[in-house]
Amino acid sequence: MKTFNKRARFDYKLEGDRFETGLVLSGGEAKAVRTGHTDLSQSVARVLNGEVWLINANIPVLGAKNYNSTRSRKLLLHKFEILSIATKMKQRKLTLVPLSLYNKGRLIKLKLALGKPKRKFEKRQAIKAKDIEREIAKELRVS
């Protein structure tokens, strides 16, 4: 099952760099990911003490009552990838944004991208441009 972060392309201007990472999950979390019970819309990844962490991703354990579903989860990357991400984030003031969570064989992978947060007026411009494109496409279909 593949879960997308639908807010990522709306909230961030994504740069060209994409990274595929592994996740450290418990058994119940892995089952929830495989069944598609995940939400990445409010999540972000950060580099802390030489490690990359996924923060605020909602991955509930099925059937568990006293469990924090938005806990921070460690991401698995090579050391040189972590160093390059950290330097790019500092130099260009970028954010690590999770794009999708998916299965690759029996492993669970997370796709990350570097992006710069959009401002409110940029988001409004994107909505207006989409509406105009939608109206033009509608007129072309009608005529």
List all residues 6 or more positions away from 84 whose beta carbon is below 8 Å from its beta carbon. Answer: none
Domain tally, the chain: 1
101, part of any domain: yes
- The whole-angstrom distance between residue 19's C-alpha and the CA centroid of its chain comes to 11
pTM greater than the 0.75 cutoff: yes
135, part of any domain: no
CB half-sphere exposure, 42, CA atoms < 13 A: 9
81, part of any domain: yes
Tens of pLDDT, residue by residue, the chain (143 residues): 788 888 888 888 888 789 999 999 888 888 888 888 899 988 999 999 999 999 999 988 877 667 788 889 999 999 999 999 999 989 988 999 999 999 998 899 999 999 998 888 988 998 899 999 999 999 888 87
Alpha helices per DSSP H over 18-115: 27-35, 79-92
Cβ–Cβ under 8 Å, residues 5 and 100: yes
Residue 96's nearest CA partner among 41, 22, 25, 14 is 14
